[in-house]
Structure 1
Amino acid sequence: MPRKSFTPEQIINKLREAEILISQGTTLAVMLKKIEVSDCTYYRWRQEYGGMRIEQAKRLKELEVENTRLKKLVADLSLDKAILKEAAPGKLLSPHKRQQIIERIQSNLKVSQRRACQVLYQSRATQRRSREIPGEEKRLVADIIELASKYGRYGYRRITALLNERGWRVNHKRVERIWRTEGLRVPKKQPKRSRLWLNDGSCIRLRPERKNHVWSYDFVTARTADGRAFRMLNIIDEYTRKCLAITINRRLTSEDVIDQLFNLFIFRGIPEHIRSDNGPEFTAKAIRKWLTRLGIKTLFIEPGSPWENGYIESFNGKLRDELLNLEIFTTLAEARVLITDWRRQYNQVRLHSSLGYRPPAPEAIMAVVTT
């Protein structure tokens, strides 16, 4: 026998009928039989609707319906908030990016595709459309990811130059589109400083004009895994951007500076000028007298103005950003090996935007000439 369902009005009328029968001396069993309900149902009705009028029962029903609607609304808002939180912060600009996020949301939150698309404003037709990538595009994406993984601090412009070196014929706009689609990180750009020139274009610091015209040198400090510090003497040619030498030791003095310069002068020639800061190793009387006897002019920057020695400061920043901040040196010997390898890569492989995306001293491929 199917279970009967009663409206609140019918329940109140039956309770009133039961009260009348009981007031007339009718037993509970006879009364329940007459109103056609069980004793459990009767007592439950008395607990929920006892003493109510029909208008109050109607209002209670309306409040229950409203409460159910509000609960559903709160649940929907909570679900929408969870979907937006699961999506990446910021704007999802490309349909492909939204497609990937929606698939992830469906997997993690177990929501329907319709609901996720509605919250993230993605057309379901666009979501269901399969993205076909040509074979050449797949190889290009793979090469971009490989280079970005190998050179983590390179931006898409330098990656474009490396791709062209590999034989690809792509421009930076196409690489930038793939770069953003794959979610690769673009290094933060540093603001350019125009401190070496006055407003009328006149130079207040000597600008390099040719090879061996101006050299720069400076010290950089790092630490091994045991916390002990070591120093590096970096020497570069400002015109060619080539790193001439990196001397590494726990302690470096003015005598070490003279020894390194002596080796470079023998094998690379004597520069016309050497630019440095006002550190005691560079301003020592022994170094200044020795350089003066060789006919080399010293260029000291103003105290507290590292931007006036911008070439070597830029080199130091690249060294720290691309190597020192990424490696843990267990010993000084390991540091020497890794830094020497990075110097070779910097001179022969790394593409410099100031040189038209060419390395300062590219690796030469010697052809065998037969006679």
Structure 2
Amino acid sequence: MVKKVLRPSDKKVRATYLIKEYSIPIVRACHIVDLSRSMWYYQSKRDDSEVIDKLTELAEAYPTRGFDEYHLKMRREGLIWNRKRVLRVYRDMNLKLRRKHKKRLIKRVKQPLETPSGLNECWSMDFMSDVLTDGRKVRVFNVIDDCNREAVVIDAGLSYPARAVVETLENLKEEIGTPKYVRCDNGPEFTSKAFMNWCTKNHIEIKYTQPGKPMQNGYIERFNRFFREDILDAYYFNDIYQLQKLSDNWREDYNFNHPHKSLGNKSPKEFLPRFDEEFKFFIKSGLNNNYLSNFKVS
């Protein structure tokens, strides 16, 4: 059996434990762990913070590399640190244990949430989820125009892959055109090649929010809250067609009648209509919620 030889630093840790847990004198604790008292009182003046920071940076950038690659990169950068010192810090940080490699998101830059000056300048988009009465999950794809907060589309489906997102946006392109840029989160539908290639083809810039920062897309988040309170949390749905019908009616009522404080208490269509004929929005101001009565939760 191989006897493990403890380093002075390890012995000091054990002596500290004995003193704290059993309230014995320092002399007795040092004698038990075979540590000289001079070593107990010794305070290291060594500062490895720069080495630790550099190794951490390299480990994050190259998680599958080893010590030799890290040390050579340091040398190429002009950091002439002793190899044994760097190796000691490398082992203390447990970097010799190979990290599991996984795909990482590109670091997102914080994008300011600004109000566009015109229509089709910026669209915000997001997904919502709910469950039908038979337990099937549904997804709702919401798109709004940040300029007048108009609900451009509310589309529901049992599944909503990137291909369906592109089809919806292609239909919107034929109806009202395309925006200069879109704001969305880092969901798989929005980071897929299909979606990114479609945006590149149509000269649309994608502004991703930072992970864990939903309020960087605040306009669509507020819209989602209204939609969930008025529709998803208020009704049961037997199938996707009921959900889509209610969503279409709610979207029309929202665009023509919902007052926004940030728009001077005007509705999206009242604040800035998309077409000239929509100046007659007041014709539809008599919309009510009678169409919801058949599906109201008792």
- Where on the TM-score scale, by shorter chain, does this alignment land: which range? 0.5 to 0.7
* Structure 1 residue aligned with 2:214: 306
SS of the equivalent of 1:244 reads strand
Q: Name the structure with the higher helix share.
A: 1
1:222 aligns with 2:130: yes
Distance in 2 separating the partners of 1:315 and 1:255: 24
Cα contact 2:138–2:157 (8 A) shared by 1? yes
* Structure 1 residue aligned with 2:283: 365
Q: What is the root-mean-square deviation of aligned Cα atoms in Å?
A: 1.8
* Structure 1 residue aligned with 2:195: 287
1:353 aligns with 2:271: no
Read off the aligned partner of 1:354 and give its amino acid letter.
S
* Structure 2 residue aligned with 1:318: 226
Q: 1:331: how far off?
A: 2.0
1:240 aligns with 2:158: no
SS of the equivalent of 1:279 reads coil
Query: Percent identity of the aligned residues?
Result: 35
* Structure 2 residue aligned with 1:156: none
Cα contact 2:180–2:205 (8 A) shared by 1? yes
- Matching of residues 61-100 of structure 1 within 5 Å: none
- Matching of residues 239-278 of structure 1 within 5 Å: 239-278=147-186
Distance in 2 separating the partners of 1:330 and 1:250: 12
293 and 224 in structure 1: CA distance in 2 versus 1, 3 angstrom threshold: same
Distance in 1 separating the partners of 2:265 and 2:241: 32
Read off the aligned partner of 1:365 and give its amino acid letter.
I
1:341 aligns with 2:259: no
Distance in 2 separating the partners of 1:207 and 1:351: 17
- Matching of residues 27-38 of structure 1 within 5 Å: none
Q: 1:365: how far off?
A: 3.4
Read off the aligned partner of 2:283 and give its amino acid letter.
I
Q: 1:301: how far off?
A: 0.4
Distance in 2 separating the partners of 1:293 and 1:333: 32
Q: 1:232: how far off?
A: 0.5
SS of the equivalent of 1:247 reads strand
Distance in 1 separating the partners of 2:236 and 2:268: 27
Distance in 1 separating the partners of 2:224 and 2:199: 24
Distance in 2 separating the partners of 1:259 and 1:222: 22
How many positions carry a matched residue from both structures? Answer: 165
SS of the equivalent of 2:251 reads helix
Question: Which string of whole-angstrom CA distances, capped at 9 and with x for unpartnered residues, describes residues 223-258 of structure 1?
Answer: 111221100100000111000011111000101000
Question: Which string of whole-angstrom CA distances, capped at 9 and with x for unpartnered residues, describes residues 7-50 of structure 1?
Answer: xxxxxxxxxxxxxxxxxxxxxxxxxxxxxxxxxxxxxxxxxxxx
Which of 294, 297, 301 aligns to 2:205? It is 297
- Of structures 1 and 2, the larger Rg is shown by 1
SS of the equivalent of 1:315 reads helix
Q: 1:204: how far off?
A: 3.5
Distance in 1 separating the partners of 2:113 and 2:262: 19
- Matching of residues 12-51 of structure 1 within 5 Å: none
Read off the aligned partner of 1:247 and give its amino acid letter.
D
1:331 aligns with 2:236: no
Distance in 2 separating the partners of 1:294 and 1:339: 28
Distance in 2 separating the partners of 1:358 and 1:254: 34
Cα contact 2:124–2:144 (8 A) shared by 1? yes
Q: 1:206: how far off?
A: 4.8
205 and 360 in structure 1: CA distance in 2 versus 1, 3 angstrom threshold: closer
Distance in 1 separating the partners of 2:131 and 2:194: 29
SS of the equivalent of 1:326 reads coil
Tell me, which stretches of 5 or more residues in structure 2 are unaligned? 1-109, 271-280, 285-298
Tell me, which stretches of 5 or more residues in structure 1 are unaligned? 1-197, 367-371
Distance in 1 separating the partners of 2:249 and 2:209: 30
